[in-house]
Structure 1
């Protein structure tokens, strides 16, 4: 089966393998693109992670994740900016195509979502000069509104693109179907992103009915209600031809299966329902 154009976000097999083992498993099944997470890199070390990725000829379609800019005080916001500078440098060391940002929700004790969004804008602005200097694209990932309080106060593709437009060169979006499939404006906003060449990454999975856990019960492509072929068509028409990146958090299903079976299923479903 075709594996060209398929990337595995290593969250999909985070409970089965460490980064080294996951890269080796992807390579065994003909996959040549991945997206690692910072904790996975930290576990075996940045230098070793870069070596493993390089030795297996992997494209790094993104690096997860930067962000979490919002905080209740200046010290917290400053610490977040410093941490994001480190994340940018790690992404460069790994040769990532972009650093993906989950921007942060409401600061503890706050009800001011407009203020939180201002903190996100200011935080991204504070790291942007460094990102430009080291030539690392920053990809804002809008998250479903159910995450607005605790994970991301930027919740639509339109909001993300407004931020990217305001911040300028080097800022775009990571489009995850789990977060945008429901949006009545998604067709228009994907076209807008494509016209401005702001689509830096594209993540796929499925929305299960019923969903038993809003964070840790994502579906394998084809098991839910997302029209993946339609969204892939929109992304392609918008000019994005990079890999489709499978990102599945599944505490009670896919994380409990043998990793090789998970990757094999990703390949099968990619060919059957995503192209």
Structure 2
């Protein structure tokens, strides 16, 4: 059985070498209906121009990446982060997506206080959640693999993400389930069920884990089918938990980025069909 093309979403970062018009053209050629966008290339092309481009191309924007980085201690830095996240919410609403992915942020310089960093994330969500709901946007906390805890994301497990999210209504704050970051965690299937029971699985993303990891681990997300993760197994967990939405493939990979972007786009769609159900 092969994956449904209607559920496939190409995350823009997977083919970041393509301009937005090139991405839209490639999606049209391949019959891809969904796309996950990133703020930086959207800003470069123009927010309103991007919204028109995807609308005219008949594309559904499944997510916007990314908000977050909410762990600052300095009051001015905290205020700046909150303002930036409000802008991200505005951008998501303009693009027509209901989901803003959050990478929570690492430890501030000189700090060793994980608990304090997580508490500051909760404080920020209390301010941002109502603003997001007013704009029809949900915040999706993404737990990142523990190797990123010091500098990028102090939220390392779905349990930690849900402990934060469940302080707020599900239409304000939920979670991102990303295979690359959670496949190693034997408690993750139960946490997916927990998230589903509360209506908090806001997006589901695929990337494979290949070894050895490259020197720059940020760009080590493997093409699906090339590594250790059983994509159908994880798809089964989220679907058993009630998730029926789009499935994004989000890859950070220098080797893929050095190739022809249209070729990578077609390959990714093919791999999705082969490795999902």
| TM norm. shorter chain > 0.5 | yes
CA deviations 1:3-62 (Å, max 9, x no partner) are 211000000011x21222212212211101001100011011101000001001111110
CA deviations 1:208-267 (Å, max 9, x no partner) are 01111321021100100011110011111111011110000001x110111111111111
| Cα separation, 2, equivalents of 1:97 and 1:265 | 28
Secondary structure of the residue aligned to 1:61 is strand
CA deviations 1:159-197 (Å, max 9, x no partner) are 111111112242111111000101110110111111111
Please provide the CA RMSD for this pair: 1.1
CA contact (8 A) 2:98 2:136 kept: no
Look up the match of 1:226: 229
Look up the match of 1:237: 240
- Displacement after TM superposition at 1:81 (Å): 0.3
Aligned residues between the structures: 273
CA deviations 1:96-155 (Å, max 9, x no partner) are 130000010101111111111111111111111211211211111111111101111011
Where does 1:19-98 land on structure 2 (aligned, <5 Å)?
19-98=20-99
Look up the match of 1:176: 178
CA contact (8 A) 1:72 1:108 kept: no
Using the size of structure 2 for normalisation, the TM-score is: 0.96
Q: Is residue 2:276 matched to residue 1:271?
A: no
Range moving further from structure 2, 68-77 or 39-48: 68-77
Look up the match of 1:255: 257
| Cα separation, 2, equivalents of 1:274 and 1:207 | 16
Gaps of 5+ in 2: none
Q: After TM superposition, where is structure 1 displaced by more than 3 Å over at least 4 residues in a row? A: none
Gaps of 5+ in 1: none
Look up the match of 2:149: 148
| Cα separation, 1, equivalents of 2:101 and 2:224 | 21
Using the size of structure 1 for normalisation, the TM-score is: 0.97
| Cα separation, 2, equivalents of 1:250 and 1:121 | 32
